[in-house]
Amino acid sequence: MAAPVVISQYWAGDATDPGPAIAELKQRLMALEKLPSHATLISAGEVGILRDPQVAEFHQWLSQYCKVTFISAACTSLHAGILDFYHSNLNNTVVISLELDKTFQQACLNSLGIGNERDQDGLDVVPGVGFIALSRLKDGLEKNEQTRRQVVVEKCQLFSQQSGMAGTQALIGRLAQQLQALPQEILPVSFDICSNWGRSLLMGVNIRLASKRQSVQWLDSIETCQRHYLSLKPLFELQLYKEKLAQHSLMLLTLGGGGRVGLLQLGSNNSEKSAAAIELPQASFEQHSLADDIRGYELALNLLGDNKVAGYQQIRDTLKYPHSRYRGMDNHYFKW
């Protein structure tokens, strides 16, 4: 069994103005005690963001210091990055979320009918950047001030909904099972979001729990309005609720395109509870061509100017996560 994973440092920030945001990200990465020899880039927009000159420059800069892998699983990409590290031979890595190039990211949402165009759900992309520095929990070491600040990954799962109404009901049941009879020391953060699917899931979970005479005391989601933080949602919520880790664990729930729900439960390393029993689930990934997919996105954006329908279709064809063949595949992600 792999050693439990800890987050030694983390940060997320707004990138409405991407230049200063990328500069701060670089500064914070270089301020780490030691920049790992490996880094994982993630984005809900998959490798399409690498077309952006500022993102491409950051990628090139980072590649001078470490081997870089690109991973995505829609807005649950942070979970995928943690699972990929857990099952690797690495002792440490840094998972960097780049939710940049708002025009492209918004086009992805709009192509799926959940963006900010007329008669859509209204999700509006908020650009951001952030990272988590991951390492293995070293058991048996006496805890000091530094190790007590570490955040332990207690659970990390990617649920995938099967197609159809039966799939929706099954997913509601699985989420309700995670939440029912939740110990008081675990605080769940809502996955409420301005989408029809998300609200039907949340309503279904609450109804299912009420039928068992149970209820959940949710901490508020940061996405209750149209603002959409993509894969950075759990990281911004960790920053928002970090003071609660002194006495509690946080169960962060995030919805992802293609019927995905990410569950990330985090606890403090300053407690006396043993981490020996922590085991994350098996995961799988599919390898793809970076060059081929970037060409696909370039074609899509060229089409958008003259033929929006064709451009959106090309985006859907190039994105991996919306395809129905991945429905029902838990803990599955994509790698370039």
What's the pLDDT at 266? 98
Counting beta carbons within 10 angstroms of the beta carbon of residue 158, is it exposed (0 to 12), middle (13 to 18) or buried (19 or more)?
Answer: buried
What's the pLDDT at 224? 85
Q: In the CATH hierarchy, which fold is given to the domain comprising 5-141+283-335?
A: Peroxisomal Thiolase; Chain A, domain 1 (3.40.47)
Answer for the pair 323, 260: CB distance below 8 angstroms, yes or no: no
How far is Cα 47 from Cα 335, in angstroms, rounded to an integer?
9
pLDDT tens digits, 106-147: 999 999 999 999 988 889 999 999 999 999 987 655 555 566
What's the pLDDT at 214? 87
Answer for the pair 144, 269: CB distance below 8 angstroms, yes or no: no
Digitized pLDDT (tens) for each residue of the chain, 336 residues in all:
689 999 999 999 999 999 999 999 999 999 998 899 999 999 999 999 999 999 999 999 999 999 999 999 999 999 999 999 999 999 999 999 999 999 999 999 999 999 999 988 889 999 999 999 999 987 655 555 566 679 999 999 999 999 988 999 999 999 999 999 799 999 999 999 989 899 999 999 999 999 988 888 999 999 988 999 999 999 999 999 999 999 999 999 999 999 999 999 999 987 655 566 799 999 999 999 999 999 999 999 999 989 999 999 999 999 999 999 999 999 999 999
> Residue 128's beta-bridge partner residues?
14, 99
What's the pLDDT at 34? 86
**SS3 per-residue string spanning the chain:** CCCCEEEEEEEEEECCCHHHHHHHHHHHHHCCCCCCCEEEEECCCHHHHHHCHHHHHHHHHHHCCCEEEEEEECECHHHHHHHHHHCCCCCEEEEEEEECCHHHHHHHHHHCCCCCCCCCCCCEECCEEEEEEEEECCCCCCCCHHHHCCEEEEEEEEEECCCHHHHHHHHHHHHHHHHCCCCCCEEEECCCCCCHHHHHHHHHHHHHHHHCCCCCCCECCCCCCCEECHHHHHHHHHHHHHHHHHCCEEEEEEEECCCEEEEEEEEECCCCCCCCCCCCCCCEEEECCHHHHHHHHHHHHHHHCCCHHHHHHHHHHHCCCCCHHHCCCCCEEEEC
Provide the token pair at 258: 């293609």
Q: Which of 29, 39, 276, 4 is nearest to 150 (CA)?
A: 4
What's the pLDDT at 2? 84
What's the pLDDT at 149? 76
Say how far residue 225 (Cα) sits from the centre of its chain.
Answer: 19
pLDDT tens digits, 44-74: 999 999 999 999 999 999 999 999 999 999 9
What's the pLDDT at 140? 54
How far is Cα 259 from Cα 247, in angstroms, rounded to an integer?
33
